[in-house]
């Protein structure tokens, strides 16, 4: 299989009335535009809702009806992928694992790969089929492999949505095919996208793929901004007649990553143009203190790590004076940015070992401007147990004891 990258490298009932048709309280009310000072009135009027935020800080830069209910369409598949990446990290699936296509999966409406019942597809091919073609049959194959049934998988989707703070989202299926009770908001979709960036940086490369080879065919993607807007490196498009044209886009310039969501565009072109306006305005005004139309609360990010500019020796000396803090777990090697170290810590925390929640997450800056990701202030048994757990979940880690000016590494095999 060859993958081409782009040019740049809830509970379903707790917050939504499931009995009421969303059209009776039409999502993304136009009236909200009168209540929020729209920074681009003409552009905003062409979409139902949008939001733009700094993915590194969670700060909202622009917002238009961010909490109005909308149909997610294929943006739903972002949660399907989130749960798939989680299974991969936990070691419950592998990228090369062959999954069998059920009749239910094969019967999904287009867009799809036209898989046949009894055929097999690898987890990686299913992921790429979703990130490029938005294949509904591939999404259901993954859902059934993880949840046992699409219905049970939808319950898992809602549980994770609730855990991520997506308080106005209800999922009913794995694909985003029309369901009157499947709803979300622009803000909730931005939370999900940020969670993917933070929790699974190792799998983000799949969102960059513009096409891939599958059984002798070249499968092309739908996200034209990957080729047309410098710095865009993923995420996901979506469309149904009820939802209009949706998109989640992530773009990087000068080490700043912006994350945008547009819901309910009238055409794919108008949706993409609106996203371009958002990104242009966001990159041009990253340091504004009062962004227009964005007085709402920012997207919550888990405060994981403290930043310290110290040398490795300084850290060892400071910690070695505290006998109760003589052990730590270190993730991976060194990171070129504190953001990547922060993401590694957060991803480990999301794997849910209780012992880590009692440790002290710390990003340490080295003299060479590289960064370490550590869980510190641990005793020997806690550090070794945590590292064993993380290795079982496919993390790279080591448990260390501080001894004066030196380190002693424990065996966690």
By residue count, the chain amounts to 413
Give the active site residue among 50, 77, 190, 191: 77
d(CA 374, CA 286): 30
Report how far residue 320's alpha carbon sits from residue 393's, in angstroms, rounded to the nearest whole number.
29
Residue among 382, 380, 342 at smallest CA distance from 358: 382
Out of 68, 74, 243, 347, the active site residue is 74
Neighbouring C-beta atoms of residue 66, cutoff 10 Å: 29
User: Both ends of the chain: CA-CA distance in Å?
Assistant: 34
Query: Is 12 one of the catalytic residues?
Result: no
Does the annotation count 74 as an active-site position? Answer: yes
**The two structure tokens encoding residue 67:** 């909490």
Write b or e for each residue in 89-108: b if 16 or more Cβ atoms lie within 10 A of its Cβ, otherwise e: beeebeeebebebbeebbeb
**CA atoms within a 13 Å half-sphere pointing along the CA-CB vector of 45:** 4
Query: For residue 84, how many other CB atoms are within 10 A of its CB?
Result: 26
Sign, Cα dihedral of 322, 327, 331, 332? positive
Of the candidates 12, 68, 134, 190, the residue annotated as catalytic is 134
Nearest in space to 157 (alpha carbons), one of 138, 130, 176, 135:
176
From CA 203, how far away is CA 343, in angstroms rounded?
13
Q: Say how far residue 384 (Cα) sits from the centre of its chain.
A: 29
Q: Which helix (H) or strand (E) holds 364?
A: strand 360-365
Residues 6+ apart with CB under 8 A from 20: none
Rg of the Cα trace of the chain? 22
Residue 236's contacts (CB-CB under 8 Å, 6 or more residues apart) are: 74, 75, 77, 78, 131, 134, 207, 223, 247, 248
Residue 134: which of 85, 174, 186 has the closest Cα? 174
In contact, 328 and 409? CB cutoff 8 Å: no
- The whole-angstrom separation of Cα 176 and Cα 192 is 15
CA separation for the pair 138, 128 (Å, rounded): 9
Exposure of 26 in the CB half-sphere (CA atoms within 13 A): 9
Catalytic residues: 74, 77, 134
């Amino acid at each position: 299989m060859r993958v081409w990258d782009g040019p740049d490298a809830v509970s379903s009932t707790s917050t939504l009335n499931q009995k009421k048709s969303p059209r009776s309280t039409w999502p993304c009310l136009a009236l909200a535009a009168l209540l929020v000072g729209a920074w681009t009135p003409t552009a905003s009027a062409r979409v139902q809702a949008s939001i733009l935020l700094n993915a590194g800080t969670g700060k909202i830069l622009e917002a238009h009806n961010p909490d109005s209910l909308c149909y997610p369409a294929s943006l739903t598949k972002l949660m399907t992928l989130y749960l798939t990446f989680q299974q991969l990290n936990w070691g419950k699936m592998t990228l090369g694992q062959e999954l069998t296509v059920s009749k239910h999966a094969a019967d999904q409406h287009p867009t799809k790969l036209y898989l046949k019942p009894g055929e097999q597809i690898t987890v990686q091919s299913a992921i790429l089929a979703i990130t490029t073609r938005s294949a509904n049959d591939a999404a259901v194959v993954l859902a059934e492999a993880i949840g046992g049934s699409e219905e049970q998988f939808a319950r898992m989707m809602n549980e994770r949505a609730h855990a991520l703070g997506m308080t106005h989202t209800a999922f009913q299926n794995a694909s985003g095919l029309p369901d009157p009770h499947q709803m979300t908001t622009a803000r909730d979709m931005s939370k999900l996208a940020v969670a993917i960036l933070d929790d699974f940086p190792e799998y983000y490369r799949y969102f960059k793929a513009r096409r891939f080879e599958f059984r002798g065919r070249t499968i092309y993607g739908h996200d034209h901004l990957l080729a047309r807007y410098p710095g865009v490196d993923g995420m996901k498009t979506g469309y149904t007649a009820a939802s209009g044209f949706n998109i989640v886009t992530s773009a990087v310039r000068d080490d700043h990553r912006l994350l945008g969501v547009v819901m309910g565009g009238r055409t794919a072109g108008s949706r993409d143009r609106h996203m371009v306006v958002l990104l242009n305005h966001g990159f041009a005004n990253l340091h504004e203190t009062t962004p227009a139309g964005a007085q709402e609360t920012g997207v919550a990010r888990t405060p994981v790590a403290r930043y310290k500019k110290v040398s490795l020796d300084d850290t060892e000396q400071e910690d070695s004076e505290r006998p109760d803090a003589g052990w730590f777990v270190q993730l991976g090697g060194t990171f070129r940015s504190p953001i990547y170290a922060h993401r590694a810590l957060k991803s480990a925390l999301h794997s849910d070992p209780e012992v880590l929640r009692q440790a002290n997450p710390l990003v340490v800056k080295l003299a060479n401007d590289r960064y370490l990701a550590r869980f510190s202030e641990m005793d020997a048994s806690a550090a070794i147990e945590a590292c064993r757990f993380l290795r079982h979940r496919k993390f790279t880690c080591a448990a260390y004891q501080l001894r004066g000016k030196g380190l002693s590494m424990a065996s966690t095999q």
